[in-house]
Amino acid sequence: MYQTMEGNAAPYQASQDIASATQAELLRTLQTVSDNIMRLAGKLHAGPDAATDDVASITEQHALAQQLIGRLLVMPASQA
C-alpha cells in the first residue's frame, strides 16, 4: 500500500510484540515507520507553525524505529 507524504497516512502504532516478530514483519514495520517519519518531517519543514501533535508523533515514530533496528541487529543470521 502506497502512502503519500501529504498526510493521508496515520503514524504507525506498534500493535505486535516486537520481540516475537519475524524479520520480514520487522522490516515491513520499519518501512512503514520510516515512511511516516519522512512524511512528518516534510510537514515540519513546510511550516514554522508545526503542530505539537506532529512533533510528538515524529518522536514516537523515531523511538519505534530505534526499537525495530535494535531487534533486527540482534536477530540471528539464520532467520534472514
Segment-wise mean pLDDT, segments of 10 residues, the chain, 80 residues: 45 61 93 93 75 85 95 78
Is there a domain that residue 49 lies in? yes
Calpha distance 47→64 (Å, rounded): 25
pLDDT at 5: 42
Domain that holds residue 32: 20-73
Examine residue 43 and state whether it is found in any structural domain, yes or no. yes
Residue 52, H or E segment: helix 52-74
> What pTM was estimated for this model as a whole?
0.64
Residue 65 in domain: yes
- Total domains present in the chain: 1
